[in-house]
Amino acid sequence: MSADRSSAEDVFLARQDDRAGRRIQVFIVVKTAPTPSAKYVDTVCVAGLVVSPGPLRWVRLYPVPFRHLDFERQFRKYSIIEVDVAAPDHGDGRPESLKVKDFNRITVLEETGSDSVRRHEIMRDVEPTTACVLYSGAKADPAGATSLGLVAPIDPRIEVAASKGWSESQKRTIEAHQDQLALDLGAELRRDAPPLESPPFQAWYVYRCETDGCREHRQGILDWELTALQRRAQKEGGDARSWIKERFETIMLSRERSTRFILGNQAAGHKRHTFSVLSIYYPKREAVNRAMMALSSLF
From 8-16, 107-115, 125-133, 166-174, give the range in contact with Zn ion by CB under 5 A: 125-133
Spatial distance between the Cα atoms of 181 and 179, rounded to a whole number of angstroms: 7
- The helix/strand/coil state of 88 is coil
From 100-108, 210-218, 237-245, 276-284, give the range in contact with Zn ion by CB under 5 A: 210-218
Are 37 and 163 in contact by the 8 Å Cβ rule? The answer is no
126 is a contact residue toward Zn ion (CB under 5 A): no
Residue among 95 and 149 whose Cβ is closer to Zn ion:
149
Q: How far is the CB of 146 from Zn ion (least distance, A)?
A: 15
Residue among 123 and 209 whose Cβ is closer to Zn ion:
209
User: Tell me, what amino acid is at 127?
Assistant: E
Q: How far is the CB of 240 from Zn ion (least distance, A)?
A: 30
69 is a contact residue toward Zn ion (CB under 5 A): no
Spatial distance between the Cα atoms of 36 and 175, rounded to a whole number of angstroms: 10
Spatial distance between the Cα atoms of 87 and 106, rounded to a whole number of angstroms: 17
Site for Zn ion, residues 129 to 158, rule: CB under 5 A: 131-132
* 146 burial type by CB count under 10 A (0-12 exposed, 13-18 middle, 19+ buried): middle
193 is a contact residue toward Zn ion (CB under 5 A): no
> Closest Cα partner for 210 from 252, 251, 150?
150
From 155-163, 214-222, 254-262, 271-279, give the range in contact with Zn ion by CB under 5 A: 214-222
Spatial distance between the Cα atoms of 237 and 231, rounded to a whole number of angstroms: 10
Q: How far is the CB of 219 from Zn ion (least distance, A)?
A: 10
Interacting residues toward Zn ion by CB under 5 A: 131-132, 209, 211, 214
